[in-house]
Amino acid sequence: MPRPRLTAEQATQRLIQGAQANVGRYVQGIQSVTESPMAKAASKAQKAAAGYADAIQSGRWQAGLASSSIEEWRAGAVAGGGSAYTAGIQSKAAKIARKLGPALDQTYAVADSVANMPTDTVQQRIAKSTAYQQKRYDASRGSSSRGGRM
């Protein structure tokens, strides 16, 4: 006699119920990590790059992106991110300030460096804009505070 099988909806409900019932285990698991996941991921950069390149070249990446509609993306972002957005920012306030400080310093230094350039003609305004953009680009490439998500 065949075993009863769950529908996708039933399996999804069980996943949600299990996650809701085991928040403590999730937190406990996070707290028991002894090795930096970021350092571990960084040590696998070549493997990740090869995997990403393969996924893009094979079409798996594009297919994965195409598998969700904008409506699904929007619903998930609003439901999952709406209430978590503020809490996430608040919980990372010190890190945000640590990363934002040097970025603001760079921005202000670049702005100050072009502030006195002449802007009387369109060519001067273009030169000032170009200088600003080039200096921002150069500053972003030399920043020690770069590095992805906060």
Q: How far apart are CA 103 and CA 133, in angstroms?
A: 15
The structure's pTM equals 0.50
Looking at the domain assignment, is residue 27 inside a domain? no
Looking at the domain assignment, is residue 15 inside a domain? no
Beta strands in the chain (DSSP E): none
Looking at the domain assignment, is residue 62 inside a domain? yes
Identify whether residues 85 and 97 lie together within a single domain: no
Identify whether residues 78 and 101 lie together within a single domain: no
Looking at the domain assignment, is residue 23 inside a domain? no
* 19-71 residue pLDDT tens: 888 888 888 888 899 999 999 999 999 999 999 999 999 999 999 999 999 99
What is the DSSP secondary-structure string of 51-81? HHHHHHHHTHHHHHHHTS-HHHHHHHHHHHH
Domain encompassing residue 136: 93-144
Identify whether residues 87 and 99 lie together within a single domain: no
Place of tokens 């590095």: 147
Q: How far apart are CA 40 and CA 115, in angstroms?
A: 43
Q: Tell me the torsion sign for CA atoms 70, 72, 78, 80.
A: negative
Q: How far apart are CA 145 and CA 150, in angstroms?
A: 11
Give the residue-averaged pLDDT of 111-140: 94
